[in-house]
Amino acid sequence: MPGAIVQLSISKGGVPKLAIPAGEAGPLGILGDVQKNTKYHGGPRQALLWITAEGLAELRAAGFPVQPGTLGENVTTEGVDRRAVRPGQLWRFGEVEIEVTKMREPCNTLSHLGEGIQKAVYDNDVKGGVFTSPKWGLAGFYCAVKRPGTLRAGDPVQLLTVEA
């Protein structure tokens, strides 16, 4: 069974990103979303940041005050096992096709969420591509938009490639 988009989020730079009902996704992300530090954020290979609602629930259970958009993600989904997502995979979010390009390495922008948030979502195993890490995907996945279109909350999410 496919997953679904729970929330789309944009900001004028920084976190949190705020919910929008729909947005146009193109090569540089969702129209209206701004990255302040373009040295590390944005660009065609980091057009979207994707995080799962289930991962956010794990972080809330660990005491971090996170909700969709809090970690700076553009797309929050439910029903997709973050442990099965790999760089190189192609996914369809509604009418938009995306490629997972790399794991997100969290920065100090998240420090306001509590001491240790960066270590809670990312470790050397994740950095090294060890998808069995319990932290795999908690920081999110950067994605390139391969086929632009409109994203909407409620859109289905489906894996297009089985192996990356």
pLDDT digits (tens, 9 = 90+) for 48-58: 999 999 999 99
pLDDT of residue 30: 98
Rounded Cα distance between 147 and 45, Å, is: 13
Give this prediction's pTM: 0.95
pLDDT in tens, 93-106: 999 999 999 999 99
Please identify every stretch of the chain with a pLDDT value under 50, giving residue numbers as ranges.
none
Residue 154, domain member (yes or no): yes
pLDDT of residue 42: 86
Q: C-alpha distances in angstroms, 26 versus 13, 42, 110? A: 18, 12, 26
Determine what percent of the chain is predicted with pLDDT higher than 90. Answer: 87
Q: How many CB atoms lie within 10 A of CB 96?
A: 25
pLDDT of residue 162: 66
Domain that holds residue 143: 3-159
Q: Hunting for tokens 């794990």 — which residue is that?
A: 58
pLDDT of residue 2: 76
| CATH number of the structural domain spanning residue 87 | 2.40.33.20
Residue 164, domain member (yes or no): no
Residue spans of alpha helices (H) in the chain:
53-61, 117-121, 124-127
pLDDT of residue 109: 84
| Closest to 20 in 3D by CA, of 153, 157, 156, 154 | 153
pLDDT of residue 18: 97
Residue 55, domain member (yes or no): yes
Residue 27, domain member (yes or no): yes
Domain count, the chain: 1
